[in-house]
Amino acid sequence: MQLFNYHKPTSLDEASSLYRMAEDPIYLGGGMTLIPTMKQRLASPTDVIDLSGIDQMRGVVVSRKSVSIGALTCHNEIANNAEIQSTLPVLSSLAKLIGDNQVRNRGTLGGSIANSDPAADYPASVVALGATIYTQDRTISGDVFFQALFETALEPGEIITRVEFQVPTRAVYQKFPNPASRYAVVGVLVADFAGEIRVGVTGAGPCAFRARDMEAVLNRALDPDGLQELGLSEVEFNSDLHASGEYRAHLLHVLVRRAIVELVALD
Amino acid sequence: MKLSLEVNKTLHELDVPPNTLLVDLLRVNLALTGTHVGCDTSQCGACTVLLNNRAVKSCSVLAAQIEDCKITTIEGIGTADDLHPMQVAFRECHALQCGFCTPGMIMQAIDLVENTPNLDKRGIREGLEGNICRCTGYHNIVRAVASVAGAVD
C-alpha cells in the first residue's frame, strides 16, 4: 500500500474542506472494499479521509412509513437492530447475507452504496424500497442513484450522510450468493407497496436497477407464471468467470419467481 | 502518526506510518505473532482479532482507524496454564490440525458465542463463514464452538 495522508474529521464541513484541499483524496467508510483495493494498488490516493468520526452520520430513526439509517451504520447493526427487524425485516435479513461476520462488523451502509459494486446487496434495496439518499446538501432518489459500474450520482467530494427507506407492506430478498465471496451472483428484492410491486435487482447488470418490465407484469397479477411472457434481454447482463450473462438472465427469473412465492406466503 | 490504543488490556503509545495495517502493528510493532496472516486479501480470517469485542479481519483495518479502541488478540484471552474455555474446547474436540487458522477461528468463535443469542450449529457454521481451515474440515471446529455455546443441532 502506498503512503498517504490520513485525516479523521469530526464534521461534514471539515471533511469537505479536506477533500477540496487534497490532490487525490478518497473517503473511507468501513474500508472493507477500499483497504483491500489500496493494498492491491488499484487505488493510490494521496489523502484518506476517514468519515467514522462524524457523529451526524450515525443513528437509526424508525417511523411507521420509513426507516432512516446513518451512513456509518455497519451491516451487523442493521441485521441485529430490533426496530429495523420489526419495521423493515427485509433489510435486516439482507444485511445478514452480506460477506461474513467480520465484514459485517466493519462494512457500512453508506460505503457499500457509494461504491456501487455491481454485486453488492444494499443497492437492490435502495432501488426497490424507494430510498432517498441524503448527502451534505441535497437528496438523491434511489431510482437514479446508481448510474454505471462503480458509478453513482454522487459529485466528487459529496458524502452520503443517511439513507431513508420507505416501509413496504411486505418484501422479500432472494439472493444467489457466490459460494466463496458471498457477493450476489444475482440478488432481487421484491417489495409490495399496498399493491404496487417494485423489483430491485443487483448482481445482474453493471449496477443495480429496477426490472420495470417484470414490475408491469406483476402489477397486473401477482403470479410468477406471468413472467414467462418476458424475454431475458432487458439489460446487458454481466458475464464473468462466475456466471455468463445468459445464466444470470435465467437466474433473475428464478429468483423473482421464488421471491413472489415467498412474498405471497408472508401476509 | 502517533496512536494510542489498548491491546490485551495494555495501553500502547505508538508512532507508525498512516498506511500501517492493524495486523502489521500487532505482529511487527508489538511482536504479537499469534495473529496470523493467511491470504492477506480479507478472505481467510486467520488474522481475526476482536475490535471492541467484535471480530474483524486485521489485514483489512488500518491501525490509524482504531485510535483509542480496545483490541484483543489470541495472546490476550488465556495463558498456557489458564486457557480460555474456547481454547480448552478446541483442544478437547481436536478442532485443529496444523493450527494456522486456529487463532482467527477462536477469536471469531468468541465473538459468535458472546454476541449471538440462541446460537445453534447452523448458526455456528454460518458464523464461521469468514474463517477458512484447509485441514480439518470444520466438523470438530463446530463441535468445539457448540460445546462452549451449549448449542444443539
Q: Which residue ranges make up each domain of chain B?
A: 2-76, 85-149
DSSP H or E segment with residue B137: none
Q: Angle, nearest 10°, between helix axes B85-92 and B139-149?
A: 140
Per-residue pLDDT band at A155 (split at 50, 70, 90): very high
Provide the pLDDT for residue A228.
84
Question: What span, in angstroms and rounded, lies between the C-alpha atoms of A195 and A183?
Answer: 30
Residue A253: pLDDT above 60?
A: yes
Contact pairs from chain A to chain B, CB under 8 Å: 76
Q: B85-149 maps to which CATH number?
A: 1.10.150.120
> Average pLDDT of A54-81?
97
Q: What is the pLDDT of residue A234?
A: 55
- Assess if CATH 3.10.20.30 describes domain B2-76: yes
Tens of pLDDT, residue by residue over B58-113, are 999 999 999 999 999 999 999 999 999 999 999 999 999 999 999 999 999 999 99
- List the single residue in A with minimal CA-CA distance to B48: A102
Please determine, looking at this structure, whether the domain spanning A170-266 carries the CATH number 3.40.190.10.
no
Q: Is B24 on the interface with A (CB under 8 A)?
A: no
B56–A6 CB contact, under 8 Å: no
Q: Residue A26: what pLDDT?
A: 98
Residues of chain B found within 8 Å of residue A52, distances taken between Cβ atoms: 65
Instruction: Return the residue matching grid coordinates 464473468.
Output: A240
A16 has a pLDDT exceeding 80: yes
CB–CB contact A101 B18 (8 Å): no
State the CATH class of domain A56-166.
Answer: alpha beta
Going by pLDDT thresholds of 50, 70 and 90, the confidence category of residue A181 is confident
What whole-number distance in Å separates Cα of residue B97 and Cα of residue B50? 23
Are the CB atoms for B50 and A36 separated by under 8 Å? Answer: no
pLDDT at B153: 66
On whether any CB of chain A is under 8 Å from the CB of B1, the answer is yes
Q: Which cell numbers in the block locate residue B99?
A: 493450527
Amino acid A157: pLDDT? 97
Q: How much is the pLDDT for A180?
A: 85
- Is residue A185 within 8 A of residue A245, CB to CB? The reply is no
Q: Where are the domains of chain A?
A: 5-53, 56-166, 170-266
What is chain B's Cα-based Rg?
A: 15
- The answer to whether residue A29 scores a pLDDT higher than 70 is yes
Mean pLDDT of A184-205: 97
CA angle in degrees (0–180, nearest 5) for A207-A209-A213? 145
- pLDDT at residue A154 is higher than 80: yes
Asked if the Cβ–Cβ distance from A6 to B1 is below 8 Å, we say: yes
Question: Which chain B residues are within 8 Å of A79, Cβ to Cβ?
Answer: none
Q: A5-53 architecture in CATH?
A: 2-Layer Sandwich (3.30)
The average pLDDT across A63-78 equals 98
B61 contact A CB<8A: yes
d(CA A263, CA A57): 32
> What percentage of chain A exceeds 90 in pLDDT?
93
* Average pLDDT value over all residues in chain A: 95
Distance CA B152, CA B123 (A): 11
In this complex, the residue of B41, B64, B130 whose CB is nearest that of residue A103 is B130
The whole-number average pLDDT for the span A102-107 is 98
* Residue among B21, B64, B111 whose CB faces A6 most closely: B64
pLDDT for residue B38: 96
Phi, psi of A189 (to 5 degrees): -115, 115
